Structure formats: structure tokens, C-alpha cells
Amino acid sequence: MTPLEDFQQQSHTRGRGRLAEAEGVAWLQGQGYRILERNVEYKAGEIDVVALEGDALCFVEIKARATTQFGEAVRAVTRRKRRQIAAAAALFLAAHPHEGPCRFDVLAMDGAKEGWRFTLLRDAFQLE
């Protein structure tokens, strides 16, 4: 069974999310990201992945959709979600200061016939 098929077989969104994040993290590592933390939770929001790419500290949101029937995965990163990620990132930085650049990346994973199609948006949004 392919990772996409395994994702589609999950009956619960948490199971699908865990599988997609694992695939996304592996893909990010293949792109040179060094994963520091996963699933960092605060009352303000959650950060899927905190990673370094070069000297940039990246707060990465991973979104996956088995099909594009209801739009591409990247469209699921709404204004509200961006605010939550930014609030969580501010709390993370207060506890873990970083001297270099910081940015918000989005890894969108859309199901296709051949498996996952990965779209990485570096510096996908700015603080509002």
C-alpha cells in the first residue's frame, strides 16, 4: 500500500494528519530541512514542524488532501490558521530565541494518481 492509500484508508482525521505529517517531515528532510521539533502546542495554536533550513528558523504548516475535489491543500491555510501559527511562533521564540531569520513555510500535499504531489511555499506569509 502506498503512503497516499494508507492516508485514504484512515477513518479519523487525526490518523490522516499523523500519516501526512510523517510523510511531509521525511520529504522536508530530503530537501535539506533539519527538524528541531514537531507538533508544538500552545493555547494560541499549534506549529506542525519547527525546522532549520540553513540559518533560517522555519515554522512549517503541513496540509494534506487526498483529492483536490474541494480545492488544493494550500487553500486550507486560512487567515485564522495563519494567525494561530504566528501566535504560537511568537511564544516559541520567547522560549527559544533565534538570532537568524525566521519565516513561515507551508508544505501542501495533494493526492495524485502517482501518489503525493508536494508543493513547498517558503516564506508563505508574513505576520499580520
Q: What is the pLDDT of residues 85-99, one digit of tens each?
A: 999 999 999 999 999
Structural domain spans, the chain: 3-125
- Closest residue by Cα to residue 17 from 85, 80, 76, 93: 76
Taking residues 113-121, report their average pLDDT: 92
pLDDT band at 66 (very low <50, low <70, confident <90, very high): confident
Q: What is the pLDDT of residues 35-45, one digit of tens each?
A: 999 999 999 99
Angle at 17 between CA 12 and CA 23, to 5 degrees: 135
Whole-number Cα distances in Å, 82 to 4, 61, 77, 106, 116: 26, 9, 7, 10, 23
pLDDT band at 69 (very low <50, low <70, confident <90, very high): confident
CATH class of 3-125: alpha beta
Q: Which of 7-16, 27-36, 109-118 has the lowest mean pLDDT?
A: 7-16
> For position 62, what pLDDT does the model report?
97
